[in-house]
Each structure stands twice: as structure tokens, then as C-alpha cells.
Chains A and B, each alone.
Chain A
Amino acid sequence: MNDKSNNLLEMRGITKYFPGVVANSDVDFDVRYGEVHTLLGENGAGKSTLVKILFGLYQADKGDLLLRGEKMEISSPSDAISSRIGMIHQHFMLVPTLTVAENVALGMPSTRRPLTDLDKASKKISEISEEHGLAVDPSEIVEHLSVGERQRVEIIKALYRDAELLVLDEPTAVLTPKEVDDLFVILRRMADNGRGLIFISHKLREVMSLSDRITVLRNGQVVGATTPDQTSREELAQMMVGRAVRLTPDLPPNEVKESRLSLNNVSVKNDSGTLAVDNVSLEVRAGEILGIAGVSGNGQREIAEAIAGLRPIEPNGLIEINGSNVSDTNTRSRRDQGLGFIPEERVPDGAIPEFTVGENLILVDHETDNFVSRGLFSFDKISEHSSQLVSDFNVKTPSVNTPTSSLSGGNIQKVILARELSASPSVLLACQPTRGVDIGAAEYIHNRLIEQRELGTATLLISEDLDEVLGLSDRVAVMYEGKVIAVVSGEDAEREKVGLLMAGITEAVDA
């Protein structure tokens, strides 16, 4: 067994340019045998670039790569694989139509050339499954597997290739809290067996619980290296963003008034015609934020679309906004009733990327007299209105005439937020409002949502980020397989309890 103090990997002075950007600037990074070394940073900080260089997907413009003490050139994924580097990509690198065994054996030499040798592969997969606690059926077709099982297949793929250095790029993004816990047990065991792991994440809680060491990147540079016992989540956030950030929003007490949005026995079908939302009843009142927690794909998208008027509900259901039945009305008339909507997909659902910032800001009420005179757009009024919003909402854009597509995700989200909030909605439907945005922008958006709550808006918050739901919500509804299986008040909503509910486990909670 290799000595734990030895370096398995050393990257020295890695620099990588993309047109107009320095993605990595003189980055030093190393991994020892038997440790989990986390790469932490905001989107675009250069984490992915660094590991893609390691895996041979990109070539560094400058810098050296040493593996087991020897200088290496890795110019393709096959080089990386033969050097016993494995990578679990953020988006699963699986072929959904193939079986587990085919996915695992893909790209490996076969003893029965030119034929495949799937029996042998299946046997080895079973062995690996058993040894590492990664239960999966080798003959199953991948598209029939759950997200957690697919994650296991990815890990098996790396182990099958006898990977010693394992890169995990945001591996928890799609997992339930329970699945995350299980994964961490497996990862820790793999490190204990002497493997080196690179863990990439921006979820501070996970980083604190799994890492041996943490290196923080910002704007392509290393801004700090630390260990969990020497730091805190707040400090890590500060290193990532470059200024102090409040991670958990303060939810001041607020007066809750009349019901604004109510759902009665609402059922919704998904695109393939199966029931995605099953008989859900909910009520959101003025001055409260109702958060919906759940693992992605449990009906959240469909329920949001049904409320927004983008998807029909089954006949026996009822949706009311401010007391009037909107079940069969279109989006426009629901907006007229006071609904504001921040859709899950920023682009293209929330904003049209080719349009300018100004155009996106008036997208919803461009027909009103505010912006039209004698049948034509009044560009002075539009420009005045949008400039005001851009400054009110801190949108970082060169001008209101800039194409929206050239803005960062966080700023596009602020444009959408500005448009929706400027209409003073009485009901706000906010879906994944901070997904993929910087910590700084997320903090801003959270504060705006809280401000809106104080103004008396009834907010339905749908988010896969459990911390966000727990931090912002007066009440938390947990969705599982299309049903709301529990509604708990904010104070009672403990992480563990909600996490179990998200996995459909109600017994432990009731007890």
C-alpha cells in the first residue's frame, strides 16, 4: 500500500486560456493517496477546466502534470484511463439505451475480439458491486435505472478500469440527501483503500463533511487551501465569493393573512401521459413562503406548469388565485389575476436570449399602455422603465440594449426577477430561483424574496436545494412520487426529517 503522505497527483502551474478568458491561471493542485481533496468554487471558477485537463479532454497551455511522481502527458481520455484516472462527470456519461454491462465494458479491450465479452464483464461488475456496496443489475438497461443507480454505474465504470485517482464532478447534484449519505460512505471507503479522490462541489455542507483537504478556486486562481477542521462554511463562502456572504437567510416573523393561491385535488399528467401530480391540495397565504422540497422528477415541474397555466389539470381539480377559479384559463389571464412566475428554465422559458435586456424586461406587459402609444412601442418609455429596473435589481449589464444571452446566469435571473416583481404580484411562483447562480446573486435573490413576503405576497417556492427551501420557507411541503406526503412548519423542518420524507420514508418521521 502506498504511503499516505505521498502525492498520487501533482498539477503545477496549470494555465489554460480560452478565447477572451483565462480559465486556469497558474494553478497548483495535488492529491495524496487515500484522501478526498475537494475543489471548491463558483460556476466558472475553473474547477471543471482543471479536471478536464487532468482527464485529457483539454490540453493545458502551461504547466506540468505529475502522476505517481512522474511527469505525464495526458492527451486523451484513453491516456487518462490507462493511467488509472477515473472521472464521474457532472452529467452522467452513460448510454441510456445500453445495458449496465455494455456501458461498463464500452471502450475496454475484449478477450473475445472482435466479439464483446459481456458475461465476463457482468461477473466482474457483480464482484465490484459486492466489494463496494454498489448494488446494480448488470443486465438492466440504463434508462430503466433510478438516478442513484446510474450514479453507482458511473462509479463501477471507474472501478472496473481499476481507477486509482477518481474525479467526482458535482456527483450529488441529482441525489436525495439519503443517497448522498450512502454515496459518501462508499467514497470514504474507497479513499481508505488508498485511492485518491477529487471531489468537486459548491455545496458547502457536503464539502465540510466529506473532505480531507479543500482548495478554493476563484476566477481561475487558487485563493486558498484549508481543511474542514480549520474552517467554516461561512469562511469557505467568503473565499469563493471574495466577500462576506450570509448563507442562511434570516426569516423575520411576518403576519400571514388571507389565502391567495389554493390547489384542490389537483392532478397533472406529464408528457408521456402518466400521472405526475397526484391529487395535490395546497394553500399559500399572503405574507408566507411555502417551500416545496423534493428530489427532482417527483412532480414539481408539472405542478408549477399547471399553476402557471402551461399544462392542463385533470377535470376534478381546482386552482384558485385570489378566490377566482383559474383552472381552465390561460397564462395571460392568470397573470392578470396577480400571478408572477419565475420558471425553472431561465433560458428559454424565463427570458429570450436573443432579445435585449430591455426587451426581456417588458416581455410580459409590453402590450399595456405603459409602453405603447398609438399602436407603436414608445422606446423612450421602455428604456426609462428598464434602466430603472436594471439599477433597482443590480443587474450587471453594459446597457439595456445588450443581448440577454451575453449576461451571466445570475444576472439573467435578476432580469427575470425584476420583470416579475415589478408587476407587484400578489402570488409568486418561484421555481429553482437560484439554481446555477453565484452565491452572491443567490443571496440577493433570497433577500428580494423575503422582502416580497414582507410586502404581503404569497410565494410558492419550488427548489431542489434543500438548504434554500429550509432557510426561506414558513412551511415546507414535501413532494414524493407526485403526492404531497407531508407539510411541516419551518421551525419543525429539520434537515434529516425532510431528507427522509424526500426519499418517501414517512414512518420514521411520524414516530
Chain B
Amino acid sequence: MRKKLRLISSLIAVLGVLALGATACGSDDSSSGSDGGALTMAIVAPSASDDLAFSQSMVDSVNALDRDITVQITDGTFIVEDAAAAIRGYAEDGVDVIVAHGTQFGASLAEIAPDFPDTTFVWGTATDTQGLDNVFAYAPAADEGGYVNGVVAAAISSTGIIGVVGPVEAGDAVSYINGFTAAAEAGGATVNVTYTGSFGDVALAAEAAEAHLANNADVLTGTAQMVVGAVGVASDAGVPWFGTQSNQTSLDPDLVVASQVYHWEFALEEMLELRDNGTKGGQTFEINLANGGLVIEFNDGFELSDDVKAAAEAAIAGIIDGSIDTGA
């Protein structure tokens, strides 16, 4: 009896671990294996590869690369140690380029990268390479898209109050929100910012949005993967929403006004070229409106007046030519 029960409970645990493992390991393993010429790449990402946000932006970008590559993905590694193990595993397998998609993986990378001098590690969002010459760093100028979104948001708000739902006050969330706030306030709006304290708590994000609505906000935006809850609240209330990181139009085809989309491929393309020419790392890249790494994708399903559209275009142009300071 005792033995049986131990067996059963360990079986359950094993089942659970297997289920977790099945999702965490190579859910998008498109490598064909032995075509020797192709470059091999791997992505290690902290959330789901289809989160409509941070992780998805990188997966989409790598898939958009115009090159003969094979890609392996380990996603959902919100535990840093798991990510580190995956990164080291890929390096040991001889993968050429490994993307460590998360600021929090920096310390692990500093340990792993020196052991594999022939491998290129791509790490972000980060603004330096920690002095490692086989690490490329990347960061988005998220404030730029935030600024453009903010210009439009202030223009379409009638109450003049805009609610922002952020996760934790760090990384590209801060720069997006700062850019957004600067533009919206310049446009005469009041911006209420809530950092919920969590990247994953959908319920809290939803209630944060509700709180903004109670305070008369009539336009909402937010960043990180938990905002799907806030978008739902916006939908219910019929309030316009601005997205970032990925195109969030699918969450509400009627109310998502525009999304700032990260196209990491522009930075990745340059890194791969450098690698082709023998430079394995040591440089930092920023994607922005000017280099095409950031794109504001407007939703045709949301009608914007010509004035507003023109203002947005002007903001984009101003940021690119440097005449506008996003305040970030």
C-alpha cells in the first residue's frame, strides 16, 4: 500500500513535469537537421512564444530573417536557471547564434559566453555587452513608438484622461510609458500610470484598467504580456487601446488604434553580417523608427481623422530627423 501510493504521487508529479517540459522544449523546432550550410539559431525566451508581446516579437523577427537558417526555441523559461541551462545546452550542441531574450539572462550569459568563443550570443534588451566579445546586445527605443502612440491618444481622447497599465517599472516598459506620457501630456492630456507589479497577472491588469476607467480615462494603453486583461476591459467599455511590442489588433479589431511593433530582424541582420565577416560580438544595437526596427502599425479597422493621422506621421518624421525629443 505505502509503496503504491508513493508510486502514484511521484507519477503525478512526473506527469506534471513532463507536461511542463513538453511546452518548454522546442515547440517550434523547424530545423531540418543535416543541411550543413545553413546557419543554426536558437531563441530562449521567458514567456510564451505566442504571447502577442515580448517573446513573440523576437520569434516573429527571427522567422522574418531573409536567410537560410534553422531555428530552435525554448520558451516559457521564466525561471532564470532553466533559461541558463537551455542556453548552455544549445551552445554545447554547436548552435551558431543563440538569442537570450531577456534582460534577466545577463548574469548567466556572462558565465556561459566565455566558454564558447565561437558561438555568438545575442542578448537583450540590454544596452551593453558586459565587455564580452562574442555577445551582441540589443534594445528597442520603445519611447519612440510610445511617443507616436501618445500623440494619437491625446488627440482622440475627449475626457483628456488616459490610463496606462504597465508591469514592473523596468526595461522597455518604462521607456515606452515615458515616451507615451511625454507626448500625451504635450497634447494636453492627463496620463495616469499604473505599474501592477506583475508581468503575468491578467486579473490585476484588468482591474488596473477598470480603475483608470473609473477615473474617467477614455483611452488606454499598456505594455507586457498581462495587458490582454486590460484590453478585454477596454473592449467591454468600448474604449480605444494602443498596443506595443507586437501587433495587438487581433485582441480587438475595432478598438485597437495602433501598435508599435518590434522588428528585431533589422538588428539581427546586421549582427549576422558581422558574424559572417568574422566579428562574433562586442557591439550594441538599438532598433528605432529611423532604422526600421520599430514600426507603428495602424489598424485600418479603427477610423482616424486625417488630422490625427497627419500628426502621427509628423511625429514619426520628427523623431527620425531628430527634431522631436521623446523625453526619455
Direct contact between A and B judged by beta carbons closer than 8 A: no
Interface residues of A (CB under 8 A from B): none
Interface residues of B (CB under 8 A from A): none
